[in-house]
Structure 1
């Protein structure tokens, strides 16, 4: 009999094992919700699936009586715009500065600066951003940029240090100058690592976005969650949280799919 650690589930069993914890959580929630609502039909802590479905219909498919807007989709659009802008700026900045780490004259002053900045809790400087940049879109985007860029740069620096020295020497021996080495040798090595890093940065990026929207915003997923919390509207909050989770999952899958399509030779650590 083979060891348990060496046994691999088949396709059907694998799918069942993946879905099992989610099914158990749903059943646990359903049972808890029914028990609380049976004791108190007006209980708001654990709304039923019907109540949450009604809330989604009201937020997503019924125009707001005051503005005529579909709040669910307006909030989603506002949040994704901020998140996409922040991720894009962070990606470009980390890629450029990561490539600069190959040059000692730039690496020596940049590396310790990035290390120190990466130690600053991003949420602690949120009030500073609001004071300096105002309460508009720029401060929210910059919180995402400041929150994830230093970590991405350090990851890029690590990848640069892993590039075989022989590869760089061969390129220079064949007559490549610094720019050619950066573009033809270093850049292809950093791009797949950058996509992998963005996947890992999605969680913190969403956290910074929700925090910024909750404090100073008039739209967005984080704004809506913290607006309705005063009414204990869990029938709205829980679907919004589930929707954010789904969006993050889709973005993660998309980034990994792009990485596999453009860089099939790249295999992240831990991949099988």
Structure 2
């Protein structure tokens, strides 16, 4: 049997999924052991005991200066900014994407503009946002929206344009208005595809958030990472990076579950297509 036709059993597939993580862990343990044996004060690759102490200090003990649990405060601040920005970006992406993909006049007027805007490096606009909007929450949220929304608009517009034209023709034959076509033909087929697009934008959204928090913020996961880097506190930085990765992964899984439960037909349609 050709290798392309071989499928691992479910148990084997789960085991194979764990292999890369185990290899990375073993490589870290080896590297950390070598460096610590040469220099017990080495901060580049801390031991797991150092990680445990740092996690306990950041996540389970009240900070004496602020009276807060730092990891909790940082997570709440970052997730507020991220969720607010993604909600705005999704609304913009859905509305403009459908309008551009469905209506020729809007496609002619806005299609090229959105394409050009999507090519602007969002991080290059960060100083402008801080100057015009200040150093508060608005500029950080705006950066994420600017970075994510144009990509969502373009992707939704392309997905709407790929819908079979026969569906629109049949709906018009039955007397449907443009608004009814949007609600009953375009929107139900666009929402699961929008979730796919949003899943792909989770990583960039976190990147823009951390960049904004690193430059001007008093709380947040990105702020904390760049605050402790001056002390070479890898025992704090690496757990924070792992925590951000876990949060992003959970967001991706939550969106996948939402898509599967809200649109059970979509997975079968994509497989058959």
Q: Do Structure 1 and Structure 2 share a fold, with TM-score over 0.5? A: yes
Residue in 2 aligned with 1:155?
155
Separation in 2, partners of 1:172, 1:115: 30
Separation in 2, partners of 1:20, 1:104: 50
Residue in 2 aligned with 1:207?
207
Matched, 1:116 2:116: yes
* Deviation for aligned residue 1:270: 7.8
* Deviation for aligned residue 1:4: 2.1
Residue in 1 aligned with 2:92?
93
Match of 1:17, SS state, is helix
Separation in 2, partners of 1:23, 1:270: 32
Deviation per CA, 1:171-225: give whole Å up to 9, x if none: 1111111111111111111110111111000000000000000000000000000
Residue in 2 aligned with 1:247?
247
Unaligned runs of at least 5 residues, structure 2: none
Separation in 2, partners of 1:269, 1:263: 12
Separation in 2, partners of 1:234, 1:107: 49
Deviation per CA, 1:103-148: give whole Å up to 9, x if none: 1121111100000000101100010000011000000000000001
Q: Which deviates further from its counterpart, 229-238 or 182-191?
A: 182-191
TM-score w.r.t. the length of structure 2 is 0.97
Q: Which deviates further from its counterpart, 259-268 or 225-234?
A: 259-268
Separation in 2, partners of 1:52, 1:204: 27
Residue in 1 aligned with 2:6?
7
Matched, 1:61 2:60: yes
* Closer/same/farther in 2, CA of residues 37 and 145 from structure 1, 3 Å limit: same
Separation in 2, partners of 1:209, 1:65: 27
* Deviation for aligned residue 1:271: 9.8
Alignment of structure 1 residues 40-189 onto 2, 5 Å: 40-101=39-100, 102-189=102-189
Match of 1:219, SS state, is coil
Residue in 2 aligned with 1:238?
238
Residue in 1 aligned with 2:266?
266
Residue in 2 aligned with 1:221?
221
User: What number of residue pairs does the alignment pair up?
Assistant: 271
Moved over 4 A (4+): 268-272
Match of 2:264, SS state, is coil
* Deviation for aligned residue 1:238: 0.2
Match of 1:265, SS state, is helix
* Deviation for aligned residue 1:160: 0.8
* Closer/same/farther in 2, CA of residues 117 and 266 from structure 1, 3 Å limit: same
* Closer/same/farther in 2, CA of residues 92 and 65 from structure 1, 3 Å limit: same
Residue in 1 aligned with 2:15?
16
Separation in 2, partners of 1:60, 1:247: 15
Instruction: Kindly report the root-mean-square deviation, in angstroms, between the aligned alpha carbons of the 2 structures.
Output: 1.4
Match of 1:9, SS state, is coil
Separation in 1, partners of 2:271, 2:19: 23
Separation in 2, partners of 1:158, 1:266: 17
Deviation per CA, 1:132-172: give whole Å up to 9, x if none: 11000000000000001111101001111111111001111
Match of 1:47, SS state, is coil
Separation in 1, partners of 2:177, 2:81: 38
Unaligned runs of at least 5 residues, structure 1: none
